A and B are shown apart, each in its own frame.
Chain A
Amino acid sequence: MKYEINMRIILALIFLPCSVMAQANDFMRSTGKMNVVYGVILIIFLGLTWFLIKLDKRIQKLEINQKDEQ
């Protein structure tokens, strides 16, 4: 019960500035679902980062091989 009340206060604090939407009852749907767009951009960024890490690892392997030859 106590937990529930706390959650309500927190939610109210989060959504006070976003009184724009009546059905905005969670984080993602607040401010006209703008956070979904940020989520999509974040996913793409993480994907590109993953590619960078893979690339970095392969180059590292090449560098180690080169050092061994010298």
Chain B
Amino acid sequence: MRFLGLAWWKWMSIVLFVYVITRGLLVPLKPGILNINPSRFQVGQSVEFEIEGYNSFYTKATPRVFFKISDQYLCRADSIEVISETKLKIKHLFHNYLPVNQKIVMASVIVDSEVDGASVMPSKLILSQDSIELEEGIAAWTLDKPAQFNLKHKYHFPFRNILYETIRNTFFHVSLWFGMFALMFGSLYYSYRVLKYSKPEDDLRAYSMVYVAVIFGVLGLMTGSLWARFTWDTWWTNDIKLNMAALSMLIYIAYLILRASIDDPDRRAKITAAYNVFAVVAIIPLIFVLPRLTDSLHPGNGGNPAFGSDDMDNALRTVFYPSVTAFILLGFWMADLWKRVCVLDAQDSLDFD
């Protein structure tokens, strides 16, 4: 089916890209807490500190601030002064005793407002006490009536600490890898067809899919590297997923070099197809299995399912799935163009002879 002379799936990739870029860049992040300064306190004295919010509207509705220890003990901040849209000044007197059996404890901060909804900064405050008095601490850290937090129903991407706005990279970096995997399986299929039916066109298809997969893979490594630099503070980590990605790149580069070193087209098709099938089928299980056995910085490892409810929420999903589709279709489009040029080239050199 064609529309204005272009296959429908190519149009679809264009439309999806427009959707992904506009929606993925324009939807704001959920309001969150960027920083709390200072954050180390001795209990039993009046303290003062500042909370910095992100994307928040503190002047529209003065928020309530809570401190939380180990899931159940809450206490409300004494006085809140709104300095600007994104800045709060808190004055609070922490009670003499904490509701725990330790000298030092980490407390989370919850800022809750009608406009922004509730946002949490986990384990940021470090509170220390000199002596332990569990009963009194629990009494002081229990609210009279349960706190009702405001939910925000507006369409937002989730706010994650350290990641912040780079959560949008899921639509570009992660989808790039999905596109690469799709191309990889495509080339595997056509390599299998080369072995079975030995048609020269299938060989060119497999080759051009590998070519585009290498481009996608290199771009994936570069974008991932940039993202890692500003998230984990390093260009390259010894993460199992990175090593496996580098490994699959090496395989495909070997495939391209092997292609260049055989002259006879028929034999080249057979040999490279055999290598492609062997390499991909032997290595792919490792790429999918090994990261799940060992710990990794990436989601979906150490026994967790990839893209479970912790990593993705519904707002992200509405952009992520279209972006994966868009990148897969773009990859196949690029491979299609490359293959058509290769076919013309082959015909051309035949005519020339």
- Which residues of A line the B interface, CB within 8 A? 20-23, 28-29, 31-34, 36-37, 39-41, 43-44, 47-48, 50-51, 55, 58-59, 61-62, 65-66, 69
Closest CB-CB distance, B316 to chain A, in whole Å?
Answer: 14
- Contact indicator B164/A69 (Cβ below 8 Å): no
- Contact indicator B37/A44 (Cβ below 8 Å): no
28 residue pairs A–B, Cβ–Cβ below 8 Å? A20-B52, A20-B54, A20-B86, A21-B35, A21-B54, A22-B34, A22-B37, A22-B52, A28-B229, A29-B230, A32-B164, A32-B165, A33-B166, A34-B164, A34-B165, A36-B227, A37-B166, A40-B173, A43-B219, A43-B226, A44-B176, A50-B215, A51-B212, A51-B215, A51-B334, A55-B341, A65-B348, A65-B352
CB contacts (< 8 Å) of B55 on chain A: these are: 32
Once A and B bind, how many residue pairs between them come within 8 Å at the CB atom?
86
**A-facing mask of B238-268, CB < 8 A → 1, else 0?**
0000000000000000000000000000000
Chain B residue at minimum C-beta to C-beta distance from A26:
B230
Bound form: Cα–Cα A49–B47 in Å: 56
- Contact indicator B169/A36 (Cβ below 8 Å): yes
CB contacts (< 8 Å) of A61 on chain B: these are: 345
Among A22, A37, A39, A50, the residue within 8 A (CB) of B25 is A37
Provide the main secondary structure of the chain A interface.
helix
Closest CB-CB distance, A3 to chain B, in whole Å?
Answer: 25
- Contact indicator A23/B35 (Cβ below 8 Å): yes
The residues in B between 20 and 38 inclusive whose CB is less than 8 angstroms from any CB of A are: 21, 25, 29, 34-35, 37
The residues in B between 161 and 203 inclusive whose CB is less than 8 angstroms from any CB of A are: 163-166, 168-169, 172-173, 176
Say yes or no for B344: interface residue by CB 8 A criterion. Answer: yes
CB contacts (< 8 Å) of B66 on chain A: these are: none
**A-facing mask of B197-225, CB < 8 A → 1, else 0?**
00000000000000010010011001100
Chain B residues within 8 Å of chain A by Cβ, number: 39
- Contact indicator B348/A21 (Cβ below 8 Å): no
Closest CB-CB distance, A26 to chain B, in whole Å?
Answer: 9
Closest CB-CB distance, B147 to chain A, in whole Å?
Answer: 27
Among B29, B169, B341, B344, the residue within 8 A (CB) of A32 is B29
Bound form: Cα–Cα A12–B280 in Å: 52
- Contact indicator A62/B54 (Cβ below 8 Å): no
CB contacts (< 8 Å) of A58 on chain B: these are: 341, 345
- Contact indicator A62/B219 (Cβ below 8 Å): no
Say yes or no for B338: interface residue by CB 8 A criterion. Answer: yes
Say yes or no for B293: interface residue by CB 8 A criterion. Answer: no
Say yes or no for B286: interface residue by CB 8 A criterion. Answer: no
- Contact indicator B173/A69 (Cβ below 8 Å): no
Closest CB-CB distance, A34 to chain B, in whole Å?
Answer: 4
Bound form: Cα–Cα A29–B229 in Å: 10
- Contact indicator B35/A62 (Cβ below 8 Å): no
Closest CB-CB distance, B304 to chain A, in whole Å?
Answer: 24
